[in-house]
Amino acid sequence: MEFRYCPKCGNEIREDKDRCDKCGFDFSQLKEKKAEELPMRYLLKRKDPILAGILSFLLPGLGQIYVGDIGRGILITIIAFIIALLALLSNLLIYLAFHFIQIYDAYKEASEYNNLLFEGIEPW
């Protein structure tokens, strides 16, 4: 049994079928315009959508670079780095603010403790 590939969705279809089971692509259209060449070119140049997704999981923009959209891929990578950096910096600033408030609080509490002790009151 011979197989061929759907040029629209990449599905593998038996040679004797006229339509793609997956997307309904009509192969009779191809017979007029070089039925042999088009699927071959498609096969050589097609990109794996799952691999593109995995690459973008590893590094945002890498999947786009793999597909050949290099400019957009690099832009996405840069934007991802900026967002990550801003997220880290803003969280760091929130933490540092809390940390320094606690330093001041401990300092103030020790001073109040000493004042009460000086007046002859047991603070706690």
User: Taking the complex as a whole, how short is the minimal distance between the CB of residue 78 and Zn ion, in angstroms?
Assistant: 36
- Out of 4, 6, 60, 62, name the contact with Zn ion by CB under 5 A: 6
By the rule CB under 5 A, 11 interacts with Zn ion = yes
User: Taking the complex as a whole, how short is the minimal distance between the CB of residue 23 and Zn ion, in angstroms?
Assistant: 3
Residue type (1 letter), 25? F
By the rule CB under 5 A, 9 interacts with Zn ion = yes
- Out of 17, 19, 22, 31, name the contact with Zn ion by CB under 5 A: 22
Residues 91, 50: Cα–Cα separation, whole Å: 33
Residues 2, 13: Cα–Cα separation, whole Å: 9
| C-alpha to C-alpha distances, 26 to 21, 40, 81, nearest whole angstrom | 10, 17, 45
- Cβ pair 15, 2 in contact under 8 A: yes
By the rule CB under 5 A, 34 interacts with Zn ion = no
- Cβ pair 37, 45 in contact under 8 A: no
By the rule CB under 5 A, 4 interacts with Zn ion = no
Residues that bind Zn ion in the complex, under the rule CB under 5 A: 6, 8-9, 11, 20, 22-23, 25
